[in-house]
Amino acid sequence: MITVHLPPDLAREFGAAPAVTLEAAATCTDVLISLDRRHPGIVSWILEPDGRFREHLSVFVSGRRLAPRSQASLALARDAEIWILRAISGG
């Protein structure tokens, strides 16, 4: 199984849990497609139309930080954990 940790505001907007567990898949794109099936429209807030992660997001896959605007098509381990983070500004 693969766990996707979502920004709390985005999760709330789509009625998703902050951490969504999904069936293992070959690539990050496949996992996000599954996520979008469960919460229609959510992935348009995570990916650009060309399949890259949106630039204001910081994405970690299995503890490794992806370069900004990485393609989501990278291969995943079966138990991968994906963290999709956005900055907050409260102080």
Question: Under rule CB under 8 A, how many of the chain's residues touch another protein?
Answer: 26
- Taking the C-alpha atoms of residue 45 and residue 27, their distance in angstroms, rounded to an integer, is 19
Distances (CA, A) of 65 to 4, 22, 25, 30: 14, 21, 20, 19
Nearest CA-CA partner of 76 in 61, 59, 54: 61
String marking each residue 56-85 x if it binds another protein according to CB under 8 A:
x-x-x--x-x-xx--------------x-x
Q: Does 90 bind another protein (CB under 8 A)?
A: yes
- The site map against another protein for 23-52 (x = CB under 8 A) is -----------------xx--xx---x---
